[in-house]
Chains A and B, each alone.
Chain A
Amino acid sequence: MNAVLTVAKELWTSIPLINRLAVYETKIKNKSNYLGSFWEIISPLLFIAIYWFAFGYGIRQRSDVDGIPFLTWMLAGIILWFFIQPGVTNGSKAIFSKIKMISKMNFPTSIIPAYVVISRLFPHLALLAITIVYMQFAGHPISIYYLQIPYFLVAAIMLVISVVMITSTLTVIVRDFQVFIQSSIRVFLYLTPILWPMDNRLPDWLIPVMKINPMYYLVEGYRASFFYGEWYFITNASYTLYFWALVFVLFSIGAVLHVRFRRHFVDFL
């Protein structure tokens, strides 16, 4: 419990530092490319086009999802995926790849995975802005329910930071873990209703199983904000409760692991 408080306090008091380092991280990441940070938006847009072609045009034969065009439906969910997926993979190797930059012991190491995750936020915000503009023309103009978007975004950030708090530590200790994360995270693209809708298509008993995956909550939350016209976190109050309990448990495990090993990170390199 002590460890949880320590890490939470470290993150909370270092928010300005996390932001500055995150800005820096984005700035230098695409330095060697001519198009620079534009790739952060071009590359997901390319994927969106491919997924639309394969799933919307090909497999679904351009059919709607409950009255919403497939592209619109997919876009509302997939933009979150383009934050979570790189957030988890980059965050997992954050400590391993950055620890050498740190030359003093009292640096709050827990902010390293956090700032790497936050740095993925900038491309997401750009994609989100594009999506919001698109929605105005796609017949889902700004409504009061858009106010849920910041909530679900914060929820996504908390989830990803909690997950990488665990994985970044484990990656330092056992290098293979990074490879495992990189390959297993891709599975979630298909286990979350991002490319194909799940309810009404899966047997009733399977839906709760799929909902164990917390990304289900986030993706559906984003969709609710754009076009379901409901306060998703209230109408699904018990799911909200489950989500935050899970985040808390993951964060606690991550914090305990982090505090337990942090002094010895350099010894594992």
Chain B
Amino acid sequence: MKKSVVVKNVSKKYKLYDTHAERLKDLLLPKSYGEEFYALHNVSFKADKGDIIGLVGVNGSGKSTLSNIIAGTIPPTKGSVKTNGEAAMISVSTGLNGKLSGRENIELKCLMLGFSKRQIRQMEPDIIEFSELEQFIDQPVKSYSSGMKSRLGFAISITVNPDIFIVDEALSVGDKAFAQKCLDKMHEFEQRGKTMFFVSHSLTQMKEFCNKVIWLEFGEIRAEGEASEILKQYEAFLKEYNAFTPKEKKAFRNQGFEKQSAVRAVTE
């Protein structure tokens, strides 16, 4: 079967600068300044067509970075991502311009994606219909609630019909009815053989929906495989983690941070 997404040894390095001067020096001088931080380190996996992959992990484990890299909005520092088809990402307010109205955002977004004026005019009613924004569609997006924004983002993305779909927390802000509508739509996509990535803290949604799960921890893959199994492990971990005292939690995070900063020393 043809792989739809192949992620190979992807690392994403960010630099943490203490001052502006440090940032400038790093840019201009050959010597490296600032502290390095690996949001992702050496992540590899493959996705088949029709896979629905859940990304789980505690805050700061690299879920959003990974989804951004798959969507192609940010470049990986090392490694490669091969996608078979167009990828689109939905997260709360991705690429929406607050000053513009909902309708203008639809037009602009579709223009940026390379659709012609006529195609956009055809797609617009569908998008507005799906977003359930009705009379709010001509109001500026900055006045929208987060639920409205994610509805608009979701409606645009599904109507432009990408092959690979990344949903980053977008469903957790809408109400149950809309979430259900989106899940139905995604089931339809699943049948059409589209690949989906699903980032959420709602394990119930994941259980119902994903067939594979990747568990990220401190920018690395801690476990991946069948959804039910990994989710069971993850749930067990969460229970344990929640039982930590605040001090232990902090120690856990610090240990992770040190790991993510020190990766370089190990690999180079």
Contact = CB atoms under 8 A, between A and B. Distances in A.
B130 to A, nearest CB: 18
Interface stretch (B47-55, B82-90, B173-181, B223-231): B82-90
A104 interface: yes
Contacts of B171: none
Interface string B105-137: 001110111100100000000000000000000
Interface string B61-78: 000000000011111000
Contact of A17 (B14, B97, B111): B111
A102 B112 contact: yes
Contacts of B34: none
Interface in B77-107: 86-89, 94-95, 97, 99-100, 104, 107
Interface in A94-126: 100-107
Contact of A104 (B72, B104, B117): B72
B238 interface: no
A29 to B, nearest CB: 10
A202 interface: no
Contact of B74 (A17, A173, A267): A267
Prevailing SS type, chain A contact patch? helix
Nearest to A25: B108
Interface string B157-171: 000000000000000
A266 B71 contact: no
A100 B73 CA distance: 9
B95 A101 contact: yes
A105 B100 CA distance: 23
Interface string A24-43: 10001001000000000000
Given A17-B114, A266-B74, A104 B27 contact: no
B263 interface: no
In this complex, the member of A24, A100, A104, A174 whose beta carbon has the largest number of chain B beta carbons within 10 angstroms is: A104
B251 interface: no
A17 B95 CA distance: 18
A101 B108 CA distance: 9
B112 A263 contact: no
Interface of B: 14, 24, 27, 71-75, 86-89, 94-95, 97, 99-100, 104, 107-109, 111-114, 117
Given A102-B95, A104-B71, 9 more contacts: A21-B112, A101-B97, A101-B112, A103-B71, A103-B95, A104-B72, A174-B24, A266-B73, A267-B74
22 contacts: A17-B111, A17-B114, A21-B111, A21-B112, A24-B107, A24-B108, A28-B104, A28-B108, A101-B112, A103-B73, A103-B88, A103-B109, A103-B112, A104-B72, A104-B87, A104-B88, A105-B73, A105-B75, A106-B72, A263-B75, A266-B73, A266-B75
